[in-house]
Amino acid sequence: MTDFTKQVLDIIQSIPKGNVMTYGQIAAVAGNPRGARQVSRILSGMSGKHHLPWHRVINSKGGISLTGEAGFIQAEMLRSEGVEVIDQRVNLKKYQYHFN
């Protein structure tokens, strides 16, 4: 496992309930500002094994990138944590977590 992957996993694990981060934001904090797609692949391949709160990761426009049933599930999981989701979008100004 690369250092970048380890950092991505740690960052995603740290996102508090009721907050979200974007793929690009996570990549930048982990040291690769152009690594948003890598973050997506890490989430896809490691969410189950590492029990990641995958539903707290959204795109840079505040949107849920997943389609169909998966997108619906993500929206419902966010709502259950108090995040307002309207038309598959989240208000980043209100819910975005700023990792320190």
Q: What is the distance, to the nearest Å, from the Cα of residue 68 to the centroid of all Cα atoms in its chain?
A: 18
What are the chain's domains? Answer: 3-95 (1.10.10.10)
* Contact residues for 54 (Cβ-Cβ < 8 A; gap 6+): 12, 43, 47, 74
On whether the CB atoms of residues 58 and 26 are closer than 8 A, the answer is no
pLDDT tens profile 62-87:
999 999 999 999 999 999 999 999 99
The region, left, alpha or beta by phi > 0 then psi within -120 to 50, assigned to residue 63 is beta
Residue 20, strand partner residues: 96
The pTM for the full model equals: 0.93
